[in-house]
Amino acid sequence: MAWSALQVFRVESMEYVNLGRSGLQVSPLCLGTMNFGPQTSEEDSFAIMDRALELGINFFDTANVYGWKLGEGITEQIIGRWFAQGGGRREKTVIATKLNGPMSDWPNDKKLSALNIRKACDASLKRLQTDYIDIYQAHHVDRDTPFEEFWEAMEVLRQQGKIVYVGSSNFAGWHIAKAQETAAKRNFTGFISEQSHYNLLTRTVELEVLPACEDYGLGVIPWSPLAGGLLGGVLRKIDKGRSAADHMVKQLEKHRDKIEQYEKLCDELGEDPAYVALAWLLKQRAVTAPIIGPRTMEQLDGSLRTLEIDLDEAALARLDEIFPGHSTAPEDYAW
């Protein structure tokens, strides 16, 4: 049975959706925190998180490796100090964090062994200054750890009240299927969400991952929804005199024809390219909430425009012409 991610509930001006087949209600935009620390100061990070709650965005995503200083969990620490201010911040927030990446040079401080799951969860709880994690996510698949071990460790954490739900990130479709079937044999809920690299330029997940998520009832949380900025109006910004990083220039030259067509279409629609890209994702199967990573308050406030854009069939068809995608597997590569 395929589950719908589009059951909608309205609270004030924000519409909330069920994350996959779960009863958990989240905002259709997820606040990504990867910039908190390395690029965004703690003071500005606090202000952005406060503003997100004011706007009705209750879904925040982070990871134990964010901050990019081995073992320090800088971003989780910033969120923890924000939670510690009180005022209902923790209670209003659905916090999702991740584990897998190395947190030290020692062999058991990485990946998805039962030992690391136990240690990493306790460390994240301490940094986040909370006694439970709403969604605990495997940042990548661990091919060296059987899913039986993975699920047993997650079951223990749930019994202890340290986690509520489990999610995956960067899993292939067959990884999701194997994980869910293993969980079902253990009478465990399994994953409720999958974070995938998904945007107009990167649509590989449409082959197997999205169909698997739809069938197993996982809500998809796309990361890099603007393709590193390429879908955020890059040509407009360059025309206004803003410089682009070397890697961005290389990618732009590779995709210039598509980006030119895309920004022209956005002009015809009278919408900002960034918000069109996000609105398109919200039209795709199984997608619950793209991850936005605002560096400024203006970017955060502007992202709410996404929820007001209703792309019609003509606009969706034109976007598919510019950025060809994939039909449901196996039709894309067989009959």
Task: Report the candidate in 136, 198, 194 with the shortest Cα–Cα distance to residue 161.
Answer: 136
Instruction: Output the CA torsion sign for 33, 38, 42, 47.
Output: negative
Token pair for 9: 């509930």
Element (H, E) at 287: none
- How many helices (H) and strands (E) are present in the chain, helices listed first? 12, 11
Q: Is 280 exposed, middle or buried (0-12, 13-18, 19+ CB in 10 A)?
A: buried
Q: Which residues of 160-169 are buried (b: 16+ CB within 10 A; e: fewer)?
A: eebbbbbbbb
Q: Give the span between the Cα atoms of 37 and 64, in whole angstroms.
A: 13
Place of tokens 């009959």: 335
Q: Give the span between the Cα atoms of 257 and 297, in whole angstroms.
A: 31
Q: Report the catalytic residues.
A: 66
